Structures are given as C-alpha cells and as structure tokens.
A and B are shown apart, each in its own frame.
Chain A
Amino acid sequence: MSTLKRLWNLGTGRFGILIVVLLVITAVVSLVWTPFDPAAVDARARWLSPSWPHVLGTDNNGRDIASLLMAGARTTIVVAVGAGMVASVLGLALAALGSLTARWIRESIAVLVDILIAFPVLIIAMMISAVWGGSLAVVIWSVGIGFGVNIARVTRPELRRVLHSDFVLAGRASGLTPWQNLTRHLLPNVAPVFIVQLSWGMAVAVLAEAGLSYLGFGAPVTQPSWGVLLSDLQSYISVHPLTVVWPGLAITLTVLGLNLLGDALREAADPTLAQRAPTARTHVPGVVA
C-alpha cells in the first residue's frame, strides 16, 4: 500500500488533505472570482449580518467578509510556502553540515543548533522588523529561520543514522559518488522525517502570520490577510462580536489541517512511531503567536 493511500485511510490524514486542497482551491478561485471585490468600500453596506448576498456579512467599511477571507487564503499560502522553503533550505543545509563534514565543524553546528533553538520565532521577527519594518517577508524569514533550526535538530540525527547504515556503505563500496549516494540513499531515507516537520512548520507559519500581523509586524493593512482582518475586526469586538469568528475559524481550520496532516504523515511513514516516545510537536520554540 502506498504511503499516500495509507494517509488517506487515516481519518486525520484525510481531514488534513481535504483542508489543504480546499485552501488551495479557494486561493486559486479568488484569483479570478470572489463574490464581491474584497477591497471595495461601500458605506451603505457597513456591518451587515450574514445574509444573501453577503453570506458572512460585511465589516466596518462595508467590505464583504467572505471575499476578504477568500483573497486572504492567497496570503496564507504565500506565507506557508515561503516559510516552508526557507526552513527546508536552512534546515537541510544545517543538517548536512552537521553530519557530513569534519568532526569539529559537525560538533560546532550541533551546539549552534542547540543554542538557536531557544530563540522564539517572535523574537526573531522583532529583530527583523525593528530594522526593516513590518512586512510579510518578516513572517516568512522569522518562521523560516526558527523552524529551519528545528528541522535541522530533528533531521541531523536521522541523517547520521542513515549515513552509518549498511546500504549506504554498500553504495559507497559499489562505486557511487558521494553525490549519488546522497540523492539515492540519504535524502529518500530522511524524507519522511523531514516532510512531517515541514507540515508542522507550515502550520506554525499560518499561526505566526495571524499573531505577527496582529502586532503590526506582518502583512501591511492594505493586503487581504486573515491576520490583518482579525486585528481590524478586534477594534469593534464589543459592538459586533460575531464577526471575529470567521477569520479565526479560517486560521484554526488551516492550522488544524496541517497539524493533523503532519501527525498522519508521521504515522503513515512509520507505523511503529506511534508507540515510541512522545514528541513535543506543538512545542516548537515560541510559536504561540
């Protein structure tokens, strides 16, 4: 049975896949069609309750909340994919440097990773935005760096384990170059651990976008984003309390989907993992934002 099929057969995996597919479809559709123009201000349509044609109601500027959410899905994807790419490159580079190089470099990298893991994402974000001001790039870089270190920490021992396995030795003996050995044996064997981490890292990115945009370090207020919408609506919470439900629900469902996808990937890739020591999945350094 292929990994994908095992994934689909797990309830959590199916939920995760569906959420991610739904998110991507929403973002793609929003490029060509949204019920209303998400930026269109309409003074006569302020604070409409959910009703037809404004299915989720409107905000203080008369903007259609459903359309804003659809357009915001694009920002969410940009952040998740961007942070995921930064984290992958940094994490794999650190893991490779920490296992394939000379002993003193290897050990120094390991100590460095142990130290960097204590840096909360929010602190990295503040370091960047104190200098460059707030932007989506702050979110992408801070989560990418913070989670990249995490990926390195988890992937490095795995890479070292595979490095000392018999099939890699056999590969070397049969005349594979180090590069061939890396691409044929090392990376495919590290991939499951890495993909699981990546899925959780993307969940962190979506959460961080909300928190950092709320603090003013994330997306600019002109950009349709779930985090920005959440902080816009918060000012009116005592008068129109129900409107904050929608962007929050969108964020929570996406994060839940990515978290469960990571859990299911972990189980599908290695069924014995579930019986092993507990992991602190959500205890990624300071990602509560």
Chain B
Amino acid sequence: MIRYALTRLGLLLLGLAVASALIFLSLRVLPGDVAQLIAGTQSTPEQVAALRESLGLDVPLWTQYLDWIGGLLRGDLGTSLVTGESVAAELLDKARVTVPLAVMSLTVALLIGIPLGVLSALGRRTAGGTALSVASQALAAVPVVWAGMLLVVVFAVWLGWLPPQGFPRAGWNDPGAAFRALVLPALTIGVVEGAMLLRFVRSATLQALGQDYVRTAAAKGLTRTRALVRHGLPNVGLSVITVLGLQIAGIIVGAVVIEQLFTLPGVGRMLVADVAARDLPKVQGELLALTGFVLLVGFVVDLVHRLIDPRQREAS
C-alpha cells in the first residue's frame, strides 16, 4: 500500500509539473509578445517595454518559469494585472461560493444517480425501469446551460419560488438567502451530472447481477434483491468511487458555466472574466489551481479506492 501510495504521489507531482509547464508555455510562448498583447494595439513601444520589464518578461524563459514555480512553492499564485491583488487571496474569497455550490451539486448528483441507477437496473424489464433509462440517456445529452435556463423558467419565472440569479450582497452573513441563491444552480449541475452517474450505476449494477456470487447467494435462498444488496452493492460502490473523481471534475467545469448563467460571484465567473480581460498572470495562477485540484481529487480517489477494495489491498 505504501509503495502504491508513493508511486501514485510521484504521478501526482509529475502531473502538476506537466500541467504547470503546459499552462506556462501556452500562455507565454504561443502568442509571441505577451506585453504587446496585454498593452493592446494602441500602445507605444515605450509602454510595451515598460510593461515587459514590470512583468519580468525581459529575463530568459526558464528563469521566468522557475520564478513562478518558486512563488507557487511559497504559496504565491501571482498577482492580477488589473487589480494588483494576490491571486491566491481572490481565489480563496471566491471559493466561498464555488465550494458550497460544488458540494451541493455533488449531493444532488449522488442522491439522484445511485438510488435511481440501482432501481433502473433492477426494473430493467418493467416500464418504470425503461423510462428511467431513457430519461437519463436524454438528460445526459442536455447542455448544462440549457438545463439551467429551463429550471429558471419553471422555478423562478413561473413559480417564483427561487431567485432567477444573483447572490446576496451580504454573502454567507445572510445564510438563508445565500443558500436559496445556490439551490437552482446546484440542482442544474446535480441533475445533469446525476443522469450520467445514473447510467454508470445502472450498468455497474447490471454487471453485478450477472456475477457468480450473486447467483450463488440467490441459490442458497436469498431473494434476488437481498443478494444484490448484500453482495452486489459493495462492488457497485467500488465502481462508483472510480468515477467520483471525474464526476467532481465535471462539477467544477459545470460550475464555471453555471456561475455565469446565475451571475454567482464564484471562481468560475472570475476565471471567465479574467480570460476575457486577458489578465494572463492571473489566468495562469487560476488555471493551475483548478487543474491542480482536479489532479488532487484523482489522487485521493485512487488512494481511497485502493484502501477500500480488499482485492487490491491484498494484491499490494
């Protein structure tokens, strides 16, 4: 186990190194002159030269990269060109919207995906099971933005139960309003992600139902359902853990789009605005933070999977 964890940790570090190099290179090397890009076409050569110096672009590329990595190791993600604020501080501030949104979305996705996935596998020959399967297939094809718009039309415009967009100015000091502001966004991401999870759980359950151990359990007198619950579901759970990392990555990406739709002051909306404003140092820090988070989730999920699965535990 320790050996596996160390190997996996090595892969994580390698992944972070590759990610940082790719993000750094794509934002600096491809365009030619970053200073010219930031200064715009109206600038004078002197302005561009001054900007280049203040950005530290006048030193060799690998020195710039090492400077950036050095800063990262000290917890410095860089500073914004526009506001001059620390990127890390802004990220932490915006995470107060995005993290609760992601947790709520994941909860909705799990609550939809797991029980309904098992049910649709058990009842695959009944009308209800088929309907669930068809509905999840259709939902998995829906663009998240559109799902959000439809939910706004129904729950905000027609029924008026929830706010159509926005986040209370007081933030979490007004917990009721803040929570209500996140319900529709979380429902949007959760339903679409939940539909994908449902399909996965369904096929994992179908596979478990066909296994010898479930048949043996049924043969020794358990009902099919009890055999599945006792022997099949632990295996389904293991498969679900393997896709959980991808699911969380999907939720983070969904949050970028959905924060835009619901004008929530979160990480995703900030990132989109920074990309549009070409605040490159800030975009660089934010993209690395997001990618790093996705890589970290994958690492944790793999370790947990290894720890829980007795077959894998014994193998190592």
Contact = CB atoms under 8 A, between A and B. Distances in A.
A and B pair up = yes
Interface string A222-241: 00000000110010011001
A122 B256 CA distance: 9
Contacts of B250: 120, 283, 286-288
A226 B294 CA distance: 30
A217 B295 contact: no
B253 A131 contact: no
A253 to B, nearest CB: 8
Given A259-B140, A282-B140, A289-B254, 9 more contacts: A114-B11, A115-B14, A118-B298, A120-B250, A122-B257, A237-B152, A247-B146, A248-B142, A252-B138
29 contacts: A111-B14, A118-B19, A118-B291, A126-B271, A126-B272, A130-B275, A131-B37, A131-B280, A132-B30, A210-B146, A214-B260, A215-B257, A215-B272, A234-B149, A241-B153, A241-B158, A248-B142, A248-B143, A252-B138, A253-B141, A282-B196, A283-B196, A283-B246, A285-B246, A286-B249, A286-B253, A287-B250, A288-B257, A289-B144
A2 interface: no
Q: Which 10 A-B pairs have the closest CB atoms?
A: A248-B146, A278-B203, A255-B141, A256-B141, A286-B253, A241-B153, A288-B254, A210-B143, A283-B246, A115-B15
A253 B30 CA distance: 37
A232 B11 CA distance: 43
Contacts of B167: none
B187 to A, nearest CB: 14
Interface in B1-54: 11, 14-15, 18-19, 22-23, 26-27, 30-31, 37
In this complex, which of A111, A115, A276 has the most chain B Cβ atoms within 10 angstroms of its Cβ?
A115
A118 B297 CA distance: 10
A211 B137 contact: no
SS of A interface (majority): helix
Nearest to A131: B31
A203 B140 CA distance: 11
A288 B253 contact: yes
Interface of B: 11, 14-15, 18-19, 22-23, 26-27, 30-31, 37, 137-138, 140-146, 149-150, 152-153, 156-158, 164, 189, 192-193, 196, 199-200, 203-204, 206-207, 210, 239, 243, 246-247, 249-254, 256-257, 260-261, 271-272, 274-276, 278, 280, 283, 287, 290-291, 294-295, 298
Contact of A126 (B199, B249, B275): B275
A207 interface: yes
Interface in A109-138: 111-112, 114-116, 118-123, 126-132
Contacts of B239: 278
Contact of A282 (B30, B158, B199, B275): B199
A123 B26 contact: no
Contact of A120 (B11, B143, B274, B294): B294
B6 to A, nearest CB: 15
A277 interface: yes
Interface string A268-289: 0000000111111111011111
A241 B158 CA distance: 9
Interface size class of A (residues with CB under 8 A): 35 or more
A127 B27 contact: yes
Contacts of B193: 288
In this complex, which of B14, B22, B143, B278 has the most chain A Cβ atoms within 10 angstroms of its Cβ?
B143
B141 A238 contact: no
A162 to B, nearest CB: 25
A118 B295 contact: yes
B151 to A, nearest CB: 11
A9 B31 CA distance: 51
Contacts of A151: none
